[in-house]
Amino acid sequence: NSSTHKTSEVKTWLAKHPRFKLHFTPTSASWLNAVEGWFGQLERRALYRGIFTSVGELKSAIKKYIKVHNEKLAKPFRWHKSAEAIMTSVARAKLSLIDNKRAN
């Protein structure tokens, strides 16, 4: 969601490399942020500076982290917004996208 992806240099590079596509998530996609955070923790706590000589060793390290995380660190996610508030926000985001497309 960074504005750096909208610079002319990046747009030019992307035009020359059609294989690459940028996908943006809405800033209100909190569950995606949570998933990204979890993978960051996995990388920092289980994989960073690790030496894995096989795919099996890597899988084992990941499975071990998941087991420990689930037993010691996991906690339920609680929604703080009502479904109505979320749907209102989604509708507002859709209108914003429509307005942006019209402006461009």
Asked if residue 93 belongs to a domain, the reply is: no
* 24 within some domain: yes
What is the model's pLDDT at position 27? 66
* Band of pLDDT at residue 28, cut at 50, 70 and 90: low
Q: Which domain holds residue 71?
A: 3-77
Per the domain annotation, does 91 fall within a domain? no
Residue range 24-49: mean pLDDT, rounded:
83
> Does a structural domain hold residue 39?
yes
Distance CA 29, CA 38 (A): 15
Q: CA 92, 95, 96, 97 torsion: positive or negative?
A: positive
pLDDT of residue 34: 80
What integer is the mean pLDDT of 39-52?
Answer: 94
- Within a domain: residue 49? yes
Query: Around 43, how many Cα atoms within 13 Å sit in the side-chain half-sphere?
Result: 6
Categorise residue 49: left if φ over 0, alpha if ψ from -120 to 50, beta otherwise: left
Per-residue pLDDT reduced to its tens digit, 60-78:
999 999 999 999 988 887 7
Q: How high is the mean pLDDT of the chain?
A: 86
